[in-house]
Every structure is written in C-alpha cells, then in structure tokens.
Amino acid sequence: MLRDRDLVSVQEARHKVELAWAAFEKYRHFTQEQVDAVVEAMAAAGKAHAERLARMAVEETRYGNVKDKVGKNLLTSDLLARHIRGMKTVGVLRELPEKKIVEIAVPMGVVAALVPTTNPTSTVIFKSIISLKAGNAVVLSPHPRAIRCTAETADLMYRAAREAGAPEGIIQWLEHPTTEAIQALMRHERTAVILATGGQGMVRAAYSSGKPAFGVGPGNTPVLLDTSADLPAAVEQVVVGKAFDYGTVCTSEQALVCEASLKQQVLVELKKQKAFLCDEGQKQALAGLLLKENYRINPECVGQSPTRLAEMAGFAIPPDTSILVAEVEGVGKQHPLSVEKLSPVLALYFVRDFPAAMDTCEAVLRFGGYGHTCVICSKDEARIREFGLRMPAMRVLVNTAAPQGSTGVTTNLPPSMTLGCGAMAGNVTGDNIGPKHLINIKRIAYGVRKAEDVLQVPPLGEAAPVSAGAVVDRAAIAAAVEKYLAERGVSVAAVPARPAPAAGAAAEVVDRFLAARRAPKPPDCSTCALETRPAAAPVPPAQPVEPPKPQITITDFVCEADVRAALEKGRKIYIGPKTIVTPAARELAERQEVLVVAERK
C-alpha cells in the first residue's frame, strides 16, 4: 500500500487520466446534438451556483471579493455558453463545393487543465465547458491553495454532464495536486493537450512537457489616456477595471499614462471615483510591501482590498476607497510599482505629449507584460490606429475597462479565461482560447486538375522558354553585366566584342571575361638565379601568447526588456548569486539560453 504522499499523488494522476481516456473513447462518438445537450446542462449548473461557488473561492483563497467572482462565474457559464451556442465542433464542420474540400472536426482526447488560485471556480467552469464542447475529456489540476472550491466546481460540472448523458469519468480532478502529480498529468501518454493558466513556473513546465500546450504570459496592462478622450468616463472605466476582484485578473490595469496638460483634471476625476492618492512615503511603503527582494509579488497582498493593503503598509485610508494610486516617474527596476501588482494599486504617469505616452506604454508592456493587453481611451481614430499598430500586445482595447474588455464582456472578443500572448511572449497563439483551439481539422480533398496543368517543368538541361512576345534588349543586358563586373574590379574591355551568340547577351559578356582570364601570363621568375641568393636565416618558432581573458560585467538586475535587448544584439547576460531576475525575464532567458552564471572576482 502506498503511503508516500508524492507517490500517491502520481498514482492518482495516472489513474484519473486513464478514467478520462476511457470516457473519451465513448464521448468521441457523440453527435453534435448530444454534445450540445451536455454543455448546456453544465452551463446551467454553473449559472445556478455562481454565487455559492464565488463565496467558497473567497473563503478558501482569501483573494478577491464575492461580487466580482460571481461575475467571473457568469462570464464562463452564461456569456460563454451563449457565444458558443450553435458552434459546430463535431463531425463535418463545413463543405466547400467550389474547392472540392470537406472539413471534419477531430477531438484531441484528454485535456490537462491547470487551474490558478486567483480564478479557481470560473476557470473550472470555463475549461470544462470548452473541453467537452470540443468533444474531449478533461482532467483538472487545482492550485494547492484552492483545492476545495476547485473540486466542488468540478464535481458540479461532472454531475451536470452525467445527467445530460455524458459517459462516466468524462471530467476528472486531482485531489492531491503535488508538483510530481502535475508533471505526471502533463506527461502522461494519454494526455493530448495542456491548458496552462497559472504561475510562470507551471506554464514553463507545460511547454517543456513535450505535449501541445496553450500557455499564457504575465500581464502588465498600460492605459493611454489621450487628450481627445471623454476624460470623466475614461477615468471611471480605469478605476472600475482596476478595482474588479481587487486586481486579480491578469489584464487588470497596471498603469495610467496621461499627458501633463491633463494632470489636474485627472486627479480630480480619480478622487471623484474614490481613488486614494498616495504621497511619497505611502508609495514607498506600498512598493516595499507588494514586492519581495527578487521582484516576485508578495502572495499575501494578492487580491486584497485597498483598506487591507493600506493597513499592511502602515497607513490609514477611508473605508470606501476604490483603489490606491501612486504617481511613478519611470519604468524599470528602479520603479517597483511599474510591474504587475495583482492588487488594486495603480501606477500613474504624467508625460510630455502623445509620443512620450506611447513610449511609456510600450516600456510598461516590455517590463513584464509583453504580448498581453493594453488600452487606449481616445476619440482620435488616427491615434487609436497608431497605438494599436505599435504596441507589442495581442489585445488592444479601446474605450473600455481592461478586464471586462479583454475577456469579451464589453467587447466582441470571444469570452475566455485563457488569453494567449503570441509568439513574442513564447505562447503558441495570441487568441482568446475557446473550443475550436481544442479540435484538429481533418480535410477530405478531391483531385481537380493534373499536375502538368500547373507545374510546367521544362526538360532537364534546357533553359525555361521565354514567353511569347517578349522583347530581349541584349545590349542593355550586356551593359548591365559589364557594369557589375567593373564595379568589382574586373575588366572585359581587353577582349574585343563579338556578335551576341545564341545563348544571349549575358553569355557573350561572360565569354569575353573568360577569354581575358585565359590570356597568357608573364613567366614566373620567382625561381630565377636560386644559386646566387643567400639562404634565409631560420625563423625561430613563435612563442605561444595567451589570449587576454574577456572582461565580463555581472548584472545586478535583469528584466524582460534586458533579455530582449541581449537577444537582438546576440550577447549573453552575466549574473551572480545576488542578481535579481524578474520571472518574465527568467522564462524568456531560459528558452533562449541568454543568462550565464558567473562569480564576482
């Protein structure tokens, strides 16, 4: 009998995958109507229990607030269900008679779904629904801090699916989610694909598992407040987004960037929205509280209310405060509040003009939010387009709160709790993940023409024929070839020109060049009168010279932008035991092998 906790958890993971696979072998033969009935039942159950599950999540994790977690549960059980209703995911997806192609959906199999502690119940509803909508089975892996609420939500989804006719075992979840168990789940031969939502360690493990994986990158969302914007409405949207579930959404606003001319108006509007403006001392206290020495977020601060954070930082604020705001002068390692904070704390920037605002927003994205999400509040379509084209983010939102816009609540983006950041952030996609990402498409393609009708290959050894009616200017070609050779110090003038042969003007010039190369050369006199030359003195062997040791500089701090700069220049970054490396920088550097550990001399 197994008693070791890690061994028990690994055995559990293997067993759960086998159960899910057995269920998938039956479920893969369900019709679209049968699958849709299962999904509708799951969605209805999630909607009916949205508040109960939200309360469980807050009580167990101590992150966020009940009201907004109810909203997340409804996003995944109600809005998502309406969005995918009628979506074809089983059998023949479409036929293209004019192209003689038929497209057929092929489910992937068993989905391994990692669940974060910040959004445990809503993520379970989301990943269960999209997995089964695509004809797959799913095995959920809870965060150790959210096991109870994750298991309760998974059980609710499972019972609803079973009552609608889904096979036994179609939804599974780990009850002992150790690191070893998660690795066993992701690497199992029956696991087809991984949905990795969570910390960067788990996302990296998913990508290194050898399985297809949909991972996400960290968010560090900047908001550009343009001079043309409806300023009161824009500030209200920013505060609403930043306060939502106490900042636990990965697309929560992290920085508000405004032109200096708007400063007084912005400060007035922030106060109207119950935002608390921190002084210098309070800002420093917050920075020291929110971030640890290695620039990792203090987990005790994640998803806490503004009053709780202020209390932890040592100062008092009004009880009805919506968010905490701190004015920041720059972006990077010298400005801790310029990173993602996962709490209701907003960095505020006042800059010279619109180009400077663009520079700041891009810097914020590169300092920990590369590829994720950004926002612009503006009525100027030219500026909106310029901003969208330039920003290194897969979601560019316009005139909306970021969490609600990015997840499809206030925009027409697909409703999703897993937001890809594209290849620039090491993700396989920049999409909002949905059911269609969890199916493959098989195509039946009919022959419609002969190969020789489209691939006219000339007989081997013969030049391709010149198209009919084409006029060849042989003099122009000869002049172009002679000019090319002359620019490289090769002269063909010594050989008289001849009438252009049948091979063409270019060949005529080449013939002249080769003829010049074959002209007789003067005799080599290097061997003349060898008897009269004195013997050269022997040359002593050269002493080996030790090459100078390269000078290296050990960097004290490395962020994502530093790694990308090193990649662009093809150089390494030398770090020591005391070097601070941000999580996003370490992930990118490990993939590209940029960091080199060196000792200080």
What is residue 216's predicted lDDT score, i.e. its pLDDT?
Answer: 86
Q: Looking at per-residue confidence, does 452 or 83 come out higher? A: 83
**Would you list the domain boundaries of the chain?**
5-216+437-445, 221-414, 554-597
**pLDDT level of residue 526 (50, 70, 90 thresholds):** very low
**pLDDT level of residue 541 (50, 70, 90 thresholds):** low
- Identify which of 512, 509, 505 has the alpha carbon closest to the alpha carbon of residue 482: 509
State the Cα–Cα distance between residues 341 and 343, nearest whole angstrom: 5
Q: How many CB atoms lie within 10 A of CB 454?
A: 7
SS3 content of the chain, % helix, strand, coil (to 5): 45, 15, 40
What is residue 525's predicted lDDT score, i.e. its pLDDT?
Answer: 45
State the average pLDDT over residues 534-559.
Answer: 63
What is residue 466's predicted lDDT score, i.e. its pLDDT?
Answer: 58
Q: How many CB atoms lie within 10 A of CB 265?
A: 14
What is residue 532's predicted lDDT score, i.e. its pLDDT?
Answer: 38
Q: Tokens for 144?
A: 């150790």
State the Cα–Cα distance between residues 424 and 430, nearest whole angstrom: 9
- Identify which of 419, 39, 441 has the alpha carbon closest to the alpha carbon of residue 195: 419
Q: Tokens for 168?
A: 């036994």
Q: 432-485 pLDDT, tens per residue?
A: 999 999 999 999 999 999 998 888 888 887 655 655 555 667 777 777 777 777
What percentage of residues in the chain have a pLDDT greater than 70?
86
State the average pLDDT over residues 249-271.
Answer: 97
State the average pLDDT over residues 318-335.
Answer: 95
Lowest mean per-residue pLDDT among 13-17, 237-241, 322-326, 493-497: 493-497
Q: 190-215 pLDDT, tens per residue?
A: 999 999 987 677 777 888 888 999 98
What percentage of residues in the chain have a pLDDT greater than 90?
68
**pLDDT level of residue 520 (50, 70, 90 thresholds):** low
State the Cα–Cα distance between residues 271 and 266, nearest whole angstrom: 9
Structural contact between residues 256 and 346, judged by C-beta atoms closer than 8 angstroms: yes
Structural contact between residues 327 and 283, judged by C-beta atoms closer than 8 angstroms: yes
Q: 492-513 pLDDT, tens per residue?
A: 555 455 554 444 555 565 566 6
What is residue 309's predicted lDDT score, i.e. its pLDDT?
Answer: 97
State the average pLDDT over residues 146-175.
Answer: 98
Q: 370-389 pLDDT, tens per residue?
A: 999 999 999 999 999 999 99
State the Cα–Cα distance between residues 94 and 576, nearest whole angstrom: 57
Q: Is 250 marked active-site?
A: yes
Is residue 552 over pLDDT 80? no
Q: Tokens for 234?
A: 């824009």
**464 CB-contact burial (10 Å; exposed 0-12 / middle 13-18 / buried 19+):** exposed
Q: Point out the catalytic residue in the list 250, 278, 374, 421.
A: 250
What is residue 176's predicted lDDT score, i.e. its pLDDT?
Answer: 93
DSSP 8-class letter at 537: P
State the average pLDDT over residues 523-530.
Answer: 43
State the Cα–Cα distance between residues 77 and 39, nearest whole angstrom: 10
Is residue 534 over pLDDT 50? no
Fold of 5-216+437-445: Aldehyde Dehydrogenase; Chain A, domain 1 (3.40.605)
What is residue 205's predicted lDDT score, i.e. its pLDDT?
Answer: 82
State the Cα–Cα distance between residues 316 and 585, nearest whole angstrom: 35
Is residue 142 over pLDDT 50? yes
Q: Looking at per-residue confidence, does 593 or 539 come out higher? A: 593
The tally of CA atoms less than 13 A away on the side-chain side of residue 56 is: 17
Task: Give residue for tokens 């939102």.
Answer: 397
State the Cα–Cα distance between residues 303 and 320, nearest whole angstrom: 17
Q: What architecture does CATH give domain 221-414?
A: 3-Layer(aba) Sandwich (3.40)
State the Cα–Cα distance between residues 319 and 317, nearest whole angstrom: 6
- Identify which of 583, 61, 477 has the alpha carbon closest to the alpha carbon of residue 303: 61
Is residue 148 over pLDDT 60? yes
**Range from 266-270, 450-454, 516-520, 562-566 that averages highest in pLDDT:** 266-270
Q: Looking at per-residue confidence, does 206 or 514 come out higher? A: 206
SS3 assignment for 62-130: CCCCHHHHHHHHHHHHHHHHHHHCCCCCCCEEEEECCCCEEEEEEECCEEEEECCCCCHHHHHHHHHHH
Task: Give residue for tokens 């508000």.
Answer: 256
